[in-house]
Amino acid sequence: MTTEELIANIRVVPDFPQKGIMFQDITTLLLKPECLKELSDRLYEQYKDKGITKVVGIESRGYLLGPALAIRLGAGFVLLRKKGKLPAEVVSETYMKEYGPDSIEIHKGAITENDVCLIHDDLLATGGTTAAAYRLVKKFNPKDIYINFLIDLVDCPRADVFPKDAKISSVLPVLEFPD
């Protein structure tokens, strides 16, 4: 299955969640077993030789393929959640969103210095939440950190939020907004 065929299965919803946004809805992509398998296979192929020990899924859409990828890689899965959603002691990171500050959290002890982590989410738009996730995972001093997205919205304006040495990739790296 080609990248173009995968992209063709993404539904674009204009003006959601607010006017001017062209929302890239991956639910239509996930409906088709052949698309889901292709995404899963591509993710696995990208990371099978990287020594990943923990896949860190960003709430909530990083939970869609993150656990399946962790299983295939023989890795654990770490929940990265919004503030106040995890039941035990946490490590947190606060960051700015367009409407004010927000926080994300991971359970203390979920990542060790011996881990190689893959931060996974569905979509790279402005990058703010994932940059905060990167800083949060870095607090645990793992051996290495990779970042992956299913989709990279290349036309979305984004600040320079990631360090130059961040290892970022996407399955569908060239998705442009339709005219």
| Catalytic positions, written as ranges | 61, 98
Question: What does the alpha-carbon distance between residue 94 and residue 126 come to, in Å, rounded to a whole number?
Answer: 16
Question: What does the alpha-carbon distance between residue 58 and residue 171 come to, in Å, rounded to a whole number?
Answer: 16
12 and 23 Cβ atoms separated by less than 8 Å = yes
Question: Helices (H) and strands (E) in the chain — how many of each?
Answer: 5, 9
77 and 55 Cβ atoms separated by less than 8 Å = yes
112 and 86 Cβ atoms separated by less than 8 Å = no
User: Which residues partner with 101 through β-bridges?
Assistant: 96
